[in-house]
Chains A and B, each alone.
Chain A
């Protein structure tokens, strides 16, 4: 099946710094990528949807200026947590889908990135 990678797998940073997380579709071109956040013992919460070449669509309550998403190519999307604070510590997961308009189409998930802000 299709493979999605994330880098880094875990990162520790100081409060106030910015952190960039990469999501790559390794063997297919992903028109659409999704970014989720997962708190311990909780569900995945969709943060934003990004389509290649266009601006990301953020879910209600997600600060777009804090969580910058770039989907510049069909195989790469990045999430930058700007001016990170301890409350941004979480597990961030991306997924990728070939076709943006077909909910039936399988989303392929990356292994996640553990962010710890000190």
Chain B
């Protein structure tokens, strides 16, 4: 069965510092990859997604992610974090043979220090 691993449960960074959130998946086929952000009182918001083509994907709010097939990874990055980026971040994968369903990682809670 497909699975998604986010190794970091909590991450704290200083405002203005760079950020990288890790995501690894396991499955034989090429996945569709997503990053979502969840803020209190709001629904999950899609930051970016990868289906094919250029392995470096640009998203909203200044985020980007890079798909590395050899490492089965899809890490999320941001060059300079803002205090408003504090939230829970979820990586998710889907496969065309997987019933068009998303499988989520356990999430990474980001705290931003001012």
* A residues at B contact (CB < 8 Å): 4, 9, 34, 41-46, 49, 93, 95, 100-104, 106-112
Contacts and interface: CB of A to CB of B under 8 A. Distances in A.
Nearest to A97: B100
Contacts of B35: none
B49 A106 contact: yes
Contacts of A46: 101-103
B27 interface: no
A111 B43 contact: yes
Interface centre among B49, B98, B100, by most A CB within 10 Å?
B100
A111 B42 contact: yes
Main secondary structure of the interface of B (DSSP, over half): loop
B17 interface: no
B100 A100 contact: yes
Interface residues of B, number: 26
Nearest to B100: A103
Contacts of A45: 104
A4 B96 contact: no
Contact of A93 (B41, B43, B51, B99): B43
Given A42-B106, A43-B105, A46-B103, 17 more contacts: A34-B101, A41-B106, A43-B90, A43-B106, A43-B107, A46-B101, A49-B99, A95-B44, A103-B94, A103-B96, A103-B98, A104-B32, A107-B46, A109-B43, A110-B43, A111-B42, A112-B43
Contacts of A106: 46, 49
Nearest to B4: A43
Contact of B43 (A41, A101, A108): A108
Contacts of B9: 41
